[in-house]
Structure 1
Amino acid sequence: MTEAAAAFRETSADPVTEALPFSHLSLELGHLYMEDFAEGAERLVRHFTAVRPWAETARAWAAALPTGNRPRISTCFLIDDYFSRLSTPAELLPTLLGAAERAGLTIDYLARESGCALTDPLRPDRPGLADAVMHRLVESPPPGSNGFRPPVSRTGWLTNGRRAPTRRTSAALDADGAWQPPGETGARGHSVFVDVELWDDVGEQRTWSCAFLAAVWQLTRLGLLRDDGRAVLTPVPWEQRTFPADWDALPPLLRLNPAAPPFTAYYTCSVLPTRFLPVEHAVRVVLEQVHVDAHAVGQIVERAGREKLTVPEDVVERTSYLFPPGL
């Protein structure tokens, strides 16, 4: 008689990917620096007044989706509390929300930019969101590359093509070499080459770039980030009329509107000042080279299919922008 062989497997080896609810569109109503807030309430009212007609354009796009149902559109706003803190939540947020209301807009979700970077205080042993996304970067090697350039994990720089060769230390080696321009991978005709700085290590700790944090923000809005299968940066209901005096006492993502559609969405649209255009170009370069959770993507495609929507698996194709003049 022989004993039957038994196979044992840790349940944690195959973490279950948490499913999320989805809106059709996540509409970002702006991203301002602390210096903009320092100009006062009227500056914010002008911002939201300029945003409103473009927000209506985005809503009209969502209304034309072939779902057969009323489109689910959630709005959000990202507060820069990472690079500077010129004011407190107690002073700034009522003014921000009041300005949006005066312009006829409602902010459903409010996020702190530092939440895209810092480690979860409830799980200090886990990497922060930015660090986790950095480890998911898969550089696209340009044609003819020889691996001379160190990887992005060491340099903190990510590109969309082939860099111009670095001058060698030996003049003899350079004697026969001709200068070569950089080149965009997959360029149509002429290149638009971009080299993106993701962080710097000046000072006591790493400082993530605005472009990289904005890429993390997009991935979060698209519902593509997980930690051992669990959703990250989930909204915390906030029904209080007051806010704390310390940014760190505020959850990274607040749901201000109890009746708001889900924060995560099939598509994102951001209405931003034109000064953010180069930043968002850099964001797209990053998104093109992030290896996202395959199970999360599969859930989104399947869920959208049940709503008669075809959602592309390519992350970049799910993001869009509006850059109104004079914003």
Structure 2
Amino acid sequence: MTEAAAVFRETRADPVTASVPFSHLSLELGHLYMEDFAEGAERLERHFAAVRPWAETARAWAAALPTGNRPRISTCFLIDDYFSRLSTPAELVPTLLGAAERAGLTIDYLARESGCALADPARPDRSGLAESVMHRLVESPPPGGNGFRPPVSRTGWLANGRRAPASRTSAALAADGAWQPPAETGARGHSVFVDVELWDEDGGHRTWSCAFLAAVWQLARLGLLRDDGRAVLVPTPWEQDAFPEEWDALPPLLRLNPSAPPFTAYYTCSVLPGRFLPVEHAVRVVLEQVHVDADAVAQAVERSGREGLPAPEGVADRTSYLFPPGL
């Protein structure tokens, strides 16, 4: 009979993964640049008028839940305050909310794109949200890859397959020195190769790309982001009548509707202008190569299964898009 060995571990060595509430669907009613807002209220009204019938289509999908339960659908809108700031929250947000209301739509949650990039002001010791996601990237090794190209953490570029060789002089790249085309990993028939720029740098300042911030945004909506186990980008209730003059005075994610279903959801659907199609393709490339918190994934899979709407473990498989004409 052997004596059992005692194993001691610090509590902080295994942080508990915080649980988050889930809606069935997170419905994004738009993502516009500051240039779009500069065109005025009429531009916003045209946007929401075009979005409304497609938003109703997404709601119809969620209404057909197998369990017959009332669907929990939360709406959100992402404002670009990261790449430019041509207006103030005090001027822009009321105009935005008014245009949505006149179209018969309600924005439950309002997010700032800079909130997907920057560090939490309450935790200055932590890295920014985008940087923390970058450290979780695990590049899919392309068939025949030889490690010639530096990792994404150094280059800032992420691909969905094998790039065309940069040099014809290496025998490891091509025995006969001939040009080779890029190839998508797991392509069905023909390749659709994508190489995504995640950031660029100028004078030591890093600017995250729209595609990478949109990937962070999707992970946040799916409830898969954690920092030492705690949930991040948690909605802040907004009960004030006026909005501030400075964007940095506005929390990164606001809950505008007190009775709204949860911000995080098993599935996401985004109604976007067609010009975002290449960006969202790049988003899927990123999502397919992010190592998310396993416990966070397990929570969503287990709970969605109990509700009769099982969510797949693949993050990209939980995202969907609508690109209406004329948006």
1:106 aligns to what? 106
Q: Does 1:238 align with 2:238?
A: yes
Q: Does 1:73 align with 2:73?
A: yes
Cα deviation, 1:49-73, whole Å, max 9, x if unaligned, reads 0000000000000001213210000
Tell me how far apart the structure 1 counterparts of residues 168 and 188 of structure 2 sit (CA, whole Å): 30
Letter of the aligned partner of 2:236 in structure 1? V
- Say which SS state the counterpart of residue 206 (structure 1) adopts: strand
TM-score, structure 1 as length reference: 0.96
Residue range with higher mean Cα deviation, 69-78 or 176-185: 176-185
| Deviation for aligned residue 1:82 | 0.1
Report matched runs for 1:218-229 at 5 Å. 218-229=218-229
Conserved 8 A contact 2:168-2:177: no
TM-score, structure 2 as length reference: 0.96
1:143 aligns to what? 143
Conserved 8 A contact 1:97-1:107: yes
Conserved 8 A contact 1:63-1:71: yes
**Unaligned ranges ≥5, structure 1:** none
Q: Does 1:294 align with 2:294?
A: yes
* Residue-pair matches, total: 324
- Say which SS state the counterpart of residue 201 (structure 1) adopts: strand
Letter of the aligned partner of 1:43 in structure 2? R
Letter of the aligned partner of 1:109 in structure 2? Y
| Deviation for aligned residue 1:8 | 2.8
Tell me how far apart the structure 1 counterparts of residues 268 and 174 of structure 2 sit (CA, whole Å): 48
2:260 aligns to what? 260
Letter of the aligned partner of 1:74 in structure 2? S
Conserved 8 A contact 1:271-1:324: yes
Cα deviation, 1:75-124, whole Å, max 9, x if unaligned, reads 00000000000000001000000000011100000000000000011111
Letter of the aligned partner of 2:28 in structure 1? E
2:123 aligns to what? 123
2:133 aligns to what? 133
Cα gap change, 1:4/1:52 in structure 2, threshold over 3 Å: closer, same or farther?
closer
Tell me how far apart the structure 2 counterparts of residues 307 and 77 of structure 1 sit (CA, whole Å): 26
2:47 aligns to what? 47
| Deviation for aligned residue 1:310 | 1.4
Tell me how far apart the structure 1 counterparts of residues 175 and 126 of structure 2 sit (CA, whole Å): 50
**Unaligned ranges ≥5, structure 2:** none
Conserved 8 A contact 1:167-1:174: no
Report matched runs for 1:1-327 at 5 Å. 7-168=7-168, 176-327=176-327
Conserved 8 A contact 1:161-1:182: yes
Tell me how far apart the structure 2 counterparts of residues 75 and 7 of structure 1 sit (CA, whole Å): 47
Cα gap change, 1:317/1:164 in structure 2, threshold over 3 Å: closer, same or farther?
same
- Root-mean-square deviation (CA, aligned residues, Å) is 1.7
Conserved 8 A contact 2:74-2:262: yes
| Deviation for aligned residue 1:194 | 0.2
